[in-house]
């Protein structure tokens, strides 16, 4: 069983994790975009620039695969490498731009299907970021999952929210790829990615607050104004007088 010291995360560790995420974001998204526009400015054809950008965006995935070994291959790694392979298929420049929608659509379907799995995808992504943080309780998430129906509901609903958002993102990427000037699509696609992520961060955090997630993680009771408490209150009010009378009679008879 994990101890309190095992679950707590020091500020230094938290800063290292944040720095690593920023670096990965730069390698996976900013660097390929900068490379694309540098090559096109230098006179390289759009098709070659798109291929080079696709290769650059897969560097982080390849490095993670080499460091973690074949035993730690995730579905995300497989999807990223599949997107790279699609880049080398014969096709137009617009096809290369639209191929990213295949990845985001698969991720969206993955989010939705995971609601029927043992642990939803939103739970798996959020756990390394939140579990054991000093402002939260050191209570293991596995224990919360087993004991709290509300906790399980939160992550299933969150997975549905992210699934719908990423599927909409995939549709918009296809629209951008086939309607905008080719040279402007990479910039708009990156902006769409960042915009989708920011909007979903706001929406999911609003939902987490209304559902009472933060008090759960802090080890306290769910606040009175939360949606979970209001739902429980409505359920209590729906108990009929006959049921209450029956319960009283049973107690008196006992």
Gap between the Cα atoms of 143 and 172, Å rounded: 39
Q: Is the C-alpha dihedral spanning 237, 145, 77, 31 positive or negative? A: positive
What is the per-residue pLDDT for 108? 93
> Of 168, 189, 169, whose CA–CA distance to 177 is shortest?
189
What is the per-residue pLDDT for 98? 85
What is the per-residue pLDDT for 235? 43
Contacts of 199 (CB under 8 A, 6+ apart): 165
Mean pLDDT of each 10-residue bin along the chain, 254 residues long: 44 59 66 85 86 77 64 57 69 80 89 94 88 72 92 96 96 94 90 92 95 84 47 46 46 43
Gap between the Cα atoms of 127 and 136, Å rounded: 12
User: Quick check: 249 and 242 in contact, CB under 8 A?
Assistant: no
User: Quick check: 141 and 131 in contact, CB under 8 A?
Assistant: yes
**Three-class SS of residue 133?**
strand
Give residue-wise pLDDT tens across range 9-49: 455 555 565 556 666 666 667 778 888 889 888 988 888 88
User: Quick check: 123 and 142 in contact, CB under 8 A?
Assistant: no
Stated pTM of the model: 0.69
């Amino acid at each position: 069983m994990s101890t309190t010291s095992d679950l707590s995360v020091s500020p230094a560790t938290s800063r290292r994790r944040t720095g690593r995420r920023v670096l990965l974001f730069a390698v996976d998204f900013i660097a390929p975009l900068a490379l694309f526009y540098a090559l096109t400015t230098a006179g390289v054809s759009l098709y070659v620039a798109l291929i080079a950008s696709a290769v650059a965006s897969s560097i982080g995935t390849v490095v993670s695969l080499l460091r973690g070994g074949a035993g730690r291959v995730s579905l995300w790694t497989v999807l990223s490498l599949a997107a790279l392979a699609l880049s080398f298929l014969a096709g137009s420049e617009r096809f290369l731009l639209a191929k990213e929608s295949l990845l985001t659509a698969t991720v969206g379907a993955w989010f939705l299907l995971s609601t029927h799995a043992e642990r939803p995808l939103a739970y798996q992504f959020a756990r390394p970021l939140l579990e054991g943080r000093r402002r939260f309780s050191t209570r293991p998430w596995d224990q919360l999952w087993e004991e709290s129906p509300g906790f399980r509901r939160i992550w299933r609903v969150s997975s549905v929210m992210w699934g719908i958002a990423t599927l909409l993102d995939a549709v918009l990427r296809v629209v951008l790829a086939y309607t905008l000037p080719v040279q402007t699509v990479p910039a708009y696609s990156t902006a769409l990615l960042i915009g989708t992520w920011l909007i979903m961060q706001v929406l999911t955090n609003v939902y987490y607050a209304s559902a009472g997630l933060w008090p759960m993680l802090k080890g306290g009771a769910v606040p009175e104004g939360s949606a979970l408490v209001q739902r429980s209150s409505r359920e209590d009010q729906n108990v009929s007088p006959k049921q209450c009378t029956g319960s009283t009679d049973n107690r008196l008879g006992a």
